[in-house]
Amino acid sequence: MLGVAHTIKINKRMFTMNKMSQETVTQAIKTHRESLRKSLQHRLEVARSSNNDYLVRQLEAEAAYLHL
């Protein structure tokens, strides 16, 4: 049978792995949002330079919806 110390060591290792996984997920979310922001910004610049007011309004609405 495994001792209490062994169980605590396993739980500590699992906690560390879960913390690392959570940090990885958090970083992926941040990276994804930044990618969305950059893409949307570029699309807005192109729409504005093309004087496409309809598309500009759509993209601005998208930015508001995504809280970017």
- What pLDDT is attached to residue 11? 66
Answer whether 40's CB lies under 8 Å from 62's CB.
yes
pLDDT for res 40? 97
In whole angstroms, give the CA distance from residue 43 to residue 56.
9
Q: What is the pLDDT of residue 55?
A: 98
pLDDT score of 24: 87
Tokens of 62: 């998208």
48 contacts 56 by C-beta, under 8 angstroms? yes
d(CA 64, CA 1) in angstroms, rounded, equals 58
Give 10-residue mean pLDDT values along the chain (68 residues).
59 70 88 96 98 98 93
Q: What is the pTM of this model?
A: 0.67
Under a CB-based contact definition with an 8 Å cutoff, are residues 42 and 56 in contact? no
